[in-house]
Amino acid sequence: MADIKAAGAIMYMIEDGVPKYLILRSAHHGEWGPPKGHADEGEAELETAMREIFEETGFSRSTFIPGFREVLEYKVDKKKKRLKKEVIFFLAEMPNDEVAISDEHTEAHLATMAEIEIMLSHDDLKKIIRLADGFLRAQKLV
């Protein structure tokens, strides 16, 4: 059981037949990643993902792709304790490319898979985006 729950989405757009994935640069630690955040008390996973997308990108509507739900688990140090964090990622198509980033981020970028491999620091997060890319291709959405 996770001590900390979070959710977010691998957000994408298709440009000239190429899927591109939205990544945001954290103002706190400078690393790139998709929109995600902690769940509020009593909030369902999808509700958390939708709220975080809105807070971090300004998108009030995104098209979620049924059947994609991946879990990322890792340890974090908080308040002198080692806690287990679980992040649920969904897959969502961006409504447009006009991202209104929050104060939590300094930049937004639509990245190709090749850029994802270079720009992201964590292999487990790269794997989730690779799975999303494979899912899009298997569903013939690309």
Count: domains in the chain: 1
Phi, psi of 137 (to 5 degrees): -70, -40
Look up the CATH number of the domain holding residue 45.
Answer: 3.90.79.10
Q: For residue 53, what is the enclosing H or E element?
A: helix 45-57
Q: Mean pLDDT across the stretch 42-66?
A: 95
Domain limits at 51? 4-138
95-99 long-range CB contacts below 8 Å, 24 or more apart? 95/59, 95/61, 95/62, 95/63, 97/13, 98/58, 99/22, 99/57, 99/58, 99/59
Kindly report, residue by residue over 77-132, the tens digit of the pLDDT: 887 889 899 999 999 999 999 999 999 999 999 999 999 999 999 999 999 999 99
Q: What is the pTM of this model?
A: 0.93
Model pLDDT, residue 1: 77
